[in-house]
Structure 1
């Protein structure tokens, strides 16, 4: 009887794994490549490799960044080519009261904001992004991963403005556990290609969502990964497109919403 119970449990486990194996758009896992802050390295280093391989990503733009104003035609071209222009707020406010936040400018200290101000600035950035790409559906990324203003979850008033929001906590989540109000991701800073590819392989074996968060690629930001390492990761993803669904955040989030509605 004990052996029968063990066999039944094993079969149930294998059955569950088989059901989850192709849950991500008929692929083993989903990978989203995100690039924060609207810096020159996005356009000069990351985008050319992505486009050469036909991979689509999400670029979270700070509306006030001079790289948005000065290179708007290239952002528009990126959107026309299938990349998402996500909302990373107008001024990238972060909570200056937290440890290690000496870089926060007094005018853009989230702890001094009201919820109404934060919501208004984020909606203004949506208007700017729509003027660039003509789209009304997009995702949001919390600057510095900060979720609250004086204990108020400011995104609560923005749920109808976005498909989903990306946070900064590192985790691989199965489709049923993805929190669309605060999607987990892995921030990259100094990792080599082997380390990044290992994350992809783990997502494949666990049938989970893996979101990469990049800032600098080949320079341009204090948080950075090497140009060659980034390229090797992208080539690995391209070589395994049959097993991995690689798409912008807005597409993956909409897919998750649809799967839950059915």
Structure 2
């Protein structure tokens, strides 16, 4: 059963209907694809396992902090040190509002239900999140990942109210490999959250991005612990592969990748 589910997830991460080939995108230093390694929810296993692995291999990732998570308060110095090492701290809202009405969302608490939260309330907490992140890392440029990929608040889609504050936003669910850089909306990049995959399966997804000349956008949660977990060994295998193939894959923060996409388009 686990193998069947992993295979099904792998297929969904690799495939999307109606993909069309673009002209090669101009990635830095002639790379064939860009890779965004992002991590949601400010989890302990990310500090314990993901950041040390990235640091060992000289790669930078993006960590989307749910600022109400106790791991932010208790381990604030470690998050600040991660930013000083070149990792991006992104906005994942204060309270991680998701829609309780969707399937398998029994875990959503009533006071954190997006269905009963207004657009104005989401805007307020996202703006405050940016202020809190500035207090941690001293940076103003920021990207956002919407919790659960959900956008529909009580009185409408909250994304238009906050888009101007961010150089890139992950919103909604979709494939890990971008089908088209020409069609990519930097303010609504699809979220793929792999769990239970092996290092080889993750690397196979990365290779698909190189074949297409686009980018792969991983949004992990637990690394060797917590939930929606990728094993520590699988993560290490992926990171080591990317480090050994820097000429092929440009691995950087989501902020850096979105800034580069905007720069290329401006030309």
Normalising by structure 1, report the TM-score: 0.90
CA shift at 1:60, angstroms?
A: 0.4
Aligned to 1:23: 26
The alignment covers a number of residue pairs equal to: 244
- How far 1:150 sits from its partner (Å)? 4.0
Listed as ranges, the matches of 1:89-238 within 5 Å are 89-150=93-154, 152-167=156-171, 168-173=173-178, 174-221=180-227, 223-238=228-243
SS in 2 for 1:175: coil
RMSD over aligned Cα, in angstroms?
Answer: 1.4
What is the deviation of 1:151? Answer: 6.4
C-alpha separation in 2, matches of 1:257 and 1:40: 33
Measured after TM superposition, the shift of residue 185 of structure 1 is: 3.6
Q: How far apart, CA to CA, are the structure 1 residues paired with 2:166 and 2:264?
A: 18
Q: For 2:27 and 2:193, how far apart are their aligned partners in 1?
A: 22
Q: Residues 92 and 108 of structure 1 are in contact (CA less than 8 Å); yes or no, is this contact kept in structure 2?
A: yes
Q: 1:244 aligns with which of 238, 244, 249?
A: 249
Please report the TM-score for the alignment, with normalisation by the length of structure 2. Answer: 0.88
Inter-partner Cα distance in structure 1 for 2:190 and 2:261: 14
SS of 1:184's partner is strand
Please name the residue that 1:45 is paired with.
49
Contact 1:166/1:182, CA 8 A, preserved across alignment: yes
Deviation at 1:46, TM superposition (A): 0.4
C-alpha displacement at 1:70, in angstroms? 0.7
Residue aligning to 1:8: none
Gapped regions of structure 1 (runs ≥ 5)? 1-15
Structure 2 distance, partners of 1:93, 1:32, is 24
CA distance in 2, matches of 1:65, 1:88: 11
C-alpha distance in 2 between matches for 1:32 and 1:211: 5
Aligned-partner Cα distance in 2 for 1:108–1:176: 36
Residue in 2 that maps onto 1:69: 73
- Aligned equivalents of 2:154 and 2:224: distance in 1? 37
Structure 2 stretches lacking a partner, 5+ long: 1-20
**Contact 1:94–1:108 (CA under 8 A) maintained in structure 2:** yes
Aligned to 1:13: none
In 1, are the aligned partners of 2:167 and 2:187 still within 8 Å (CA)?
Answer: no
CA distance in 2, matches of 1:112, 1:189: 29
Question: 1:91 aligns to what SS in structure 2?
Answer: coil
Residue 177 of structure 1 and its aligned partner are, at CA, apart by: 1.8
Question: CA offset at residue 84 of structure 1?
Answer: 0.4
Q: 1:198-248, CA deviations, whole angstroms, 9 ceiling, x for partnerless residues? A: 001111111011011110110122x00111111001001011101111000
The answer to whether the 8 Å contact 1:80/1:133 transfers is yes
